[in-house]
């Protein structure tokens, strides 16, 4: 989760952008048991949203920057209810963020509790996969994992939420490959690559990946605000 374009009044957030991407790992599990030729029967199983909270003027110049749906303007008073409704069928939840200190603080200030069973920060999770001792930017992680993107579509809340989730899934794949070495990889790995580089409508951005077997019963949720 990453929040920017944030305005506060007396320490309370009153205007910001938030992106949400949701992957029900049950959908992913079902896809992994299909032949590759049928993997596109439900191609976009990551559902992504870009919510502009209390900033109606945003749409005049940025209405085409979100690649995975349509922008929505949302009253701040409705945010908690909309999040809970969106996630109603997704529990238990794993919250995935890139960085995330400010974003988690924002949820706390607004008294919004998503009750995640885990919170994963991709800046830390990627260190083992990449054998690094420092944090990578989201753009750098996309390049390292060869996830297709275009620079002008980064720093948009909904897009970054989507990409953060895909980065996590590629981290899982790299970790499995590192742990198994020359041993045969699980059947979901080739499915992941087939879906990751499948071409979408606007960009080659609608790719999918996979998750560790331990997480197959969970839903992964990313939240990300506009990054400047």
pLDDT of residue 63: 58
| pTM, entire model | 0.82
What CATH code is assigned to 7-224? 3.30.420
pLDDT of residue 139: 93
pLDDT of residue 55: 81
pLDDT of residue 194: 61
pLDDT of residue 14: 93
pLDDT of residue 212: 41
At which residue do the structure tokens 């992913």 appear? Answer: 28
Q: How high is the mean pLDDT in each 10-residue block of the chain (228 residues)?
A: 81 93 80 59 73 78 74 92 89 89 91 91 91 91 88 85 89 82 72 57 36 46 50
- Among candidates 25, 14, 80, 74, which has minimal Cα distance to 50? 74
What are the DSSP calls for 119-154, one per residue?
Answer: EEEHHHHHHHHHT-SSPPPHHHHHHHTT----GGGS
pLDDT of residue 19: 92
Residue 179: DSSP 8-state: H
What are the DSSP calls for 13-59, one per residue?
Answer: EEEEEEEEEEEEHHHHHHHHTS-GGGGGGS---EEEEEEEET-GGGH
């Amino acid at each position: 989760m990453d929040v920017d374009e944030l305005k506060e009044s007396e320490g309370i957030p009153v205007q910001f952008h938030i992106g949400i991407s949701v992957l029900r790992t049950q959908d992913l599990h079902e896809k992994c048991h299909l032949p590759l030729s049928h993997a596109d029967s439900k191609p976009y199983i990551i559902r992504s949203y870009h919510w502009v909270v209390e900033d109606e003027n945003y749409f005049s110049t940025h209405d085409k920057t979100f690649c995975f749906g349509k922008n929505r303007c949302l009253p701040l008073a409705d945010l908690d209810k909309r999040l809970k409704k969106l996630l109603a069928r997704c529990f238990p939840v794993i919250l995935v963020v890139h960085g995330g200190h400010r974003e988690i603080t924002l949820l706390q200030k607004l008294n919004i509790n998503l009750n995640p069973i885990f919170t994963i920060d991709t800046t830390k999770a990627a260190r083992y996969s990449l054998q690094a001792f420092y944090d990578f930017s989201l753009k750098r992680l996309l390049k390292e994992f060869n996830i297709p993107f275009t620079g002008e579509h980064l720093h948009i809340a909904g897009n970054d939420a989507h990409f953060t989730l895909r980065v996590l899934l590629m981290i899982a794949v790299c970790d499995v490959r590192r742990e198994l070495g020359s041993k045969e990889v699980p059947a979901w790995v080739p499915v992941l690559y087939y879906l990751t580089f499948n071409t979408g409508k606007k960009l080659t951005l609608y790719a999918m990946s996979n998750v560790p077997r331990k997480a197959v019963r969970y839903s992964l949720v990313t939240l990300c605000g506009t990054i400047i």
